Amino acid sequence: MTKHPENEEQQAERAYNWPVIYGGVVVLLVGYIAVGFVITVWWT
Amino acid sequence: MNAIDWVVLATTILGIAGWGIYRTRQTKSGSDYVRGSKALGWPTIGLSVMATQASAITFLSVPGQAYDDGLRFVQFYFGMPLAVLVVSAVVLPFFANQNVVTAYEYLEKRFDVRLRVVGALLFLTQRGLAAGITIYAPAIILSSILGLPLTYMNLFIGVVVIAYTVSGGTEAVSQTQKQQMIVILLGMIIAGVIVAMKLPADIGISGAATLAGATDRMIVVDTEFDLNNRYNLWSGLMGGFFLALSYFGTDQSQVQRYLSGKSISESRFGLLFNAVLKIPMQFGILFVGILLYAFHVFVPAPLHFNPTVETAMEASEVAGEWADLQAQWDEASAVRAQTAMEFVAAENADDRNVDYVYELESSYAELQARMDGIRSEAIALIEQAEPTLETKDTDYVFIGFVLNYMPVGLVGLLVAVILMAAMSSTASELSALGTTTSTDLYQRLFASGASERRMLVASKGFTMMWGVVALLFATWASLLDNLIEAVNILGSIFYGPILGMFLVAFMMKRAGGTATLIGAAVGQVTVLVLFFAEAPLGFLWYNVVGCLGVLAVTGLLVVVLPRMRMKAA
């Protein structure tokens, strides 16, 4: 089976490591919730 | 507001709107009008998505919400970053690869024209009604506090937004939103800094947090699971996830924003910009409310923040009782201010005495409870004497501070911030309503061979038509109080099943159009039954139930009845 050549946009897409970027956003969300916990515990 | 404020207000709003019209004066074809230039970078997309979601009520109500109830409202947004990730990774490529203009066009490519029309009609019903409220909700507050007729406020917001949205289409919407959002964010930062500066020197930001903490206003994360409580970690993560997934994945007013990106990567970064910044932004706006709470510990708050209500009560039959409550309120305020000073000083003392701090904290909390009691009596008195008046006053806390305590010039800027927030959300809604009507209904069903020129005229016409509908709705909304609540509920009732239809489209390759339609109908009926049976379920959970209902029924039909499957192409 021949593979279709990638168009420019698909090549541009591959320039980014999406799983790492998405993972970063998830880590950040966990961080936000953790900061929320700390504020809650500190001031109550 | 004085003359300088009016000049600042008019220059900011009309300047940005005029610039949007000027920038897009070359739009000459129907497809450019509804698709935009397809040349937008991620910062414009990111700000445009943010401006669409944040309505005027976000900036008016959220500080008041924190003033009254603390920071826990932020949990409502915890599900959003995850939903935006799913939209960016999964949903966006489906739309972009099929080169669709509207989300509902995708439903036809995946199933058939019936699903497209149903999706489009559900969106038009829900958004068409809601667009009027986006104008009306801030207009009623601003007209009350500025002492201007409501109709003038509605007309000002409505006419300006219709002018640039109809003139330049989706491109004008994105371009103006970028400018508007920058001014809005700057304005809110300035407002926060000014409230902090107006706190007594011995108090400061940490003292404000100490006072708010003593009255449970610093609870950000609540881990207790309660289906009926809309602000806890679980309803925020689960309900918030489904709500945001539906909003960002299927609501044309958002889909149209991120589909105007130069490439999929730019659209993705624009969405992720929101995933990263939305929670800190909401937290920041809520924290302005915490600072306002501390500010009003030392600068006495009115018994009721809505000046219209105060005036009406002072002139009512129960004016004597009202004055009595007012006197009790002022007295309690003075004692609370004194105790607050002592409490914060004891907390920050070098030789901090834990028992003494605890004692002062308890008396401070008791004083707050006493003031809450006086407030409840005042609300009861309003309900008894003037049943037509709105008793909720949290929406007036922030704008009251802006008008009474901000420096000249900045008052105009902050009122412009509120008006632009209303305009930027309304612009996306009108543009999406016009686009959906012209492409999914008019062009698809009645004018498939229409020329670019004709489509441009039609799209402008439909956008204008929705603008007028929204404006008329805003004008009459004050006569139909229950209708507003109904429209808000309508939104959360429709959202789950619409999301379910799209998830079937993305995930169940074998599902056919009929199975999905039946699934959507069953999901919708389930939500309606739960709603009318007054099931003890927070409204965020309707989105979850509706969506999962569609998936379950459609899945079952496809497994059990082979003729419900998609025919092989």
Answer whether B205's CB lies under 8 Å from B420's CB. no
Model's pTM, two decimal places? 0.92
Closest in A21, A35, A39 to B218, CB measured: A39
Mark which residues 368-427 of B lie under 8 Å from A by CB.
none
Is B259 an interface residue toward A (CB < 8 Å)?
A: no
Closest in B88, B221, B265 to A40, CB measured: B221
Give the whole-angstrom CA distance, residue A13 versus residue B278: 25
Per-10-residue mean pLDDT, chain B, length 569:
94 96 88 88 96 91 93 93 96 93 95 94 89 90 89 94 95 95 96 96 94 95 80 87 92 95 94 96 96 96 93 93 95 96 94 93 96 96 90 92 95 96 96 96 92 93 96 82 65 86 94 94 93 79 90 94 74
ipTM of the complex: 0.88
In degrees to the nearest 10, what's the CA dihedral of B136, B165, B498, B470?
A: 30
* pLDDT, position B476: 84
* Cα torsion B259, B264, B270, B273: sign: positive
Which residue of chain A comes nearest to B267, CA vs CA? A13
* pLDDT, position B26: 86
In sequence order, the 6+-apart residues with CB closer than 8 A to the CB of B136 are B154, B473, B474, B477, B478, B484
* pLDDT, position B477: 78
* pLDDT, position B77: 93
A32, A38, A42: which to substitute to probe chain B, counting the most B Cβ within 10 Å? A32
pLDDT digits (tens, 9 = 90+) for B417-462: 999 999 999 999 999 999 999 999 999 999 888 898 999 999 999 9
Strand partners for B40: B261
Q: Do B219 and A37 touch (CB under 8 A)?
A: no
Residues of chain B with C-beta less than 8 angstroms from the C-beta of A9: 263-264
B205, B279, B362: which to substitute to probe chain A, counting the most A Cβ within 10 Å? B279
Residues of chain A with C-beta less than 8 angstroms from the C-beta of B220: 35-37, 39-40
3-state secondary structure B318-361: CHHHHHHHHHHHHHHHHHHHHHHHHHHHHHHCCCCCHHHHHHHH
* Number of alpha carbons in the 13 Å side-chain half-sphere of residue B88: 30
Residues of chain A with C-beta less than 8 angstroms from the C-beta of B233: 33
* pLDDT, position A4: 61
Residues of chain A with pLDDT under 70: 1-11
Is B218 an interface residue toward A (CB < 8 Å)?
A: yes
Q: Which two tokens stand for residue B260?
A: 């105007």
Q: Do A25 and B78 touch (CB under 8 A)?
A: no
Closest in A12, A21, A33 to B78, CB measured: A33
Q: Do B81 and A29 touch (CB under 8 A)?
A: yes
Query: Look-up: residue for tokens 């956003």?
Result: A25
Distance of CA B68 to the CA centre of its chain: 18
In sequence order, the 6+-apart residues with CB closer than 8 A to the CB of B6 are B412
* pLDDT, position A1: 47
Q: CA of A17 to nearest chain B CA: how many angstroms apart?
A: 11
Residues of chain A with C-beta less than 8 angstroms from the C-beta of B74: 36
- CB–CB contacts below 8 A, A to B: 62
Give the whole-angstrom CA distance, residue B377 versus residue B279: 35
Give the whole-angstrom CA distance, residue B148 versus residue B166: 27
* Number of alpha carbons in the 13 Å side-chain half-sphere of residue B355: 0
* pLDDT, position B130: 87
